[in-house]
């Protein structure tokens, strides 16, 4: 699995001024795509922790949700290669004291209290590939987005490196653009306390 911590940002200096002490750029954890494990990558990228969840954990959850079937409705791979659905993601988050809040696309994302949201997981259509070739087919893909060091980043596991989204306002623009697309869904990752108090929303 491609798991890297990227340093972002550069320290600017001027020859006419005394050099400023170097500021440490935030290290961003970013898992890259392996098999069909985009749900696993999205979870770990949102938590910024490669040990937050494992393939075995998600596999055990999917089997627990449907113990009587060999091929469960919560995963499309009987070999444990991934492609887990939203039920597995929600159950996985609950094992760590978090909840996934499904976002109603009829509402504007301006109603989200960003400071109370740990991260975002989007389910979006994505092109399928066969080796180096892009196929004229799409399937659903999970991606993680979260704030690191004061900026929001797109941590899609299919990207070679984290992609800056920007400030809170730019994040809202990004989410609006994604949600206008066909077959796109948004989950807010919040703590159990935030979900209980509904404090992920600004309109009460």
Give me the pLDDT at residue 7, please: 54
Give me the pLDDT at residue 81, please: 45
Ranges of residues in the chain with a pLDDT under 70 are 1-25, 67-82, 127-138, 204
Give me the pLDDT at residue 138, please: 58
Q: How far is CA 7 from CA 4, 90, 156, in A?
A: 10, 30, 17
Helix (H/G/I), strand (E/B), else coil: 105: coil
Residue that is written with structure tokens 């984290």 in the block: 162
Where in 40-132 does DSSP place strands (E)?
Answer: 98-102, 119-130
Name the active-site residue from 30, 41, 85, 156: 156
Pick the CATH number of 38-66+80-197 from 2.120.10.80, 3.90.230.10, 3.90.70.40, 1.10.510.10: 3.90.70.40
**Any catalytic annotation for residue 74?**
no
Give me the pLDDT at residue 181, please: 82
Where in the chain does DSSP place strands (E)?
Answer: 3-7, 27-31, 98-102, 119-130, 133-148, 151-154, 163-166, 185-191
Start-to-end C-alpha separation, the chain: 41
Give me the pLDDT at residue 4, please: 61
Give me the pLDDT at residue 165, please: 98
Give me the pLDDT at residue 34, please: 81
Name the active-site residue from 30, 104, 141, 169: 141
Name the active-site residue from 30, 38, 41, 74: 38
For 42-60, the pLDDT digits (tens) are 999 999 999 999 999 999 9
């Amino acid at each position: 699995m491609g798991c890297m911590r990227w340093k972002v940002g550069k320290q600017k200096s001027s020859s006419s001024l005394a050099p400023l002490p170097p500021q440490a750029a935030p290290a961003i954890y970013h898992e890259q795509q392996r098999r069909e494990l985009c749900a696993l990558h999205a979870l770990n990228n949102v938590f910024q922790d490669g040990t937050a969840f494992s393939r075995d954990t998600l596999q055990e959850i999917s089997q627990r949700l449907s113990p009587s079937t060999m091929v469960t409705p919560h995963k499309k791979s009987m070999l444990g290669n991934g492609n887990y659905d939203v039920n597995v993601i929600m159950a996985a988050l609950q094992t760590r004291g978090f909840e996934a809040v499904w976002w109603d696309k009829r509402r504007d994302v301006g109603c989200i209290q960003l400071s109370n949201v740990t991260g975002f997981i989007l389910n979006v259509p994505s092109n399928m590939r066969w080796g180096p070739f892009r196929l004229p087919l799409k399937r659903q893909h999970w991606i993680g987005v979260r704030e690191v060091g004061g900026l929001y980043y797109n941590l899609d596991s299919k990207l070679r490196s984290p992609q800056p989204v920007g400030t809170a306002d730019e994040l809202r623009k990004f989410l609006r653009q994604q949600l206008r697309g066909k077959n796109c869904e948004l989950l807010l990752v919040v703590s159990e306390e935030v979900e209980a108090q509904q404090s992920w929303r600004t309109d009460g």
